[in-house]
Amino acid sequence: MPYSSAQLARHSEKIGRGWRTLQRWVARGCNLNDTESVVKFLAEAERKKTNVRRYQEARGNQPKARAGRIDKTQHRLEANGNGDLPPAGERGAAHALRRLEASEEEAYRRLQLALERGDQFQIQACQEFWLRCSETLRRLDLAVELARRDSEEMVPKRLVATLRLRSPIGCESVLRSF
């Protein structure tokens, strides 16, 4: 039975599928006025969903737009499932260590939440992010410490090593003079 555009639009709103989908269903023999026929086609559509689509729906993610239908006005920076963006704070290299410490703490809290929920995919993603943050933090902390030592804010490591070798009483008395 052929349906008009208005009828397809009305059924589309009622069923929750696009008019083009309903047009395909009608071509395959669906009677939109019969509830059993519509339920049968809905069950078939659910059965044909891919695991990726089911995973996206379970987490509330929307499918990505097709390449031909991208809206140019919606290109903006958004968080991609890793939480809300923090407010803009102090910037620059001087505050990088503090920002990274805050990110590592937040990543650890997210990992703890994921462990409580028990979702293996979320646990793996949070664990990898936390490990990356903590490894980066460790490397940056080491680099800052070495830079301080080289700039002689701290006693250079080489000086301490040579003083220990030369002085039989130790380097404590020499270091007190600094």
Other Cβ atoms less than 10 A from the Cβ of 55: the count is: 12
Q: Which pLDDT score, from 0 to 100, does residue 57 have?
A: 82
Residue with tokens 């080289």: 150
Q: Is 51 within 8 Å of 21 (Cβ atoms)?
A: no
State the alpha helices, DSSP H only, in the chain. Answer: 5-15, 19-27, 35-47, 51-58, 96-117, 120-150, 157-166, 172-176
The answer to whether residues 67 and 96 touch, using CB atoms and an 8 Å cutoff, is no
Task: Annotate 153-174 with DSSP letters as a single string.
Answer: SS--HHHHHHHHHH-SS-SHHH
What are the C-alpha distances in Å from 168 to residues 109, 164, 174?
50, 7, 12
Closest CA to 106 of 88, 120, 79, 85: 85
pLDDT value at residue 70: 46
Burial environment of residue 25 by CB neighbours within 10 A (0 to 12, 13 to 18, 19 or more): buried
Each residue's pLDDT tens digit in the chain (178 positions)?
A: 588 888 888 888 888 888 898 998 899 888 888 888 888 888 888 888 888 888 888 887 766 555 445 454 544 444 455 556 656 667 766 677 788 888 889 999 999 998 998 888 888 888 999 899 889 888 888 887 777 777 766 666 677 777 766 655 555 555 555 5
Residue 76 tokens, joined: 């903006």
Answer whether 35's CB lies under 8 Å from 27's CB: no
Separation of alpha carbons 65 and 60, rounded Å: 15
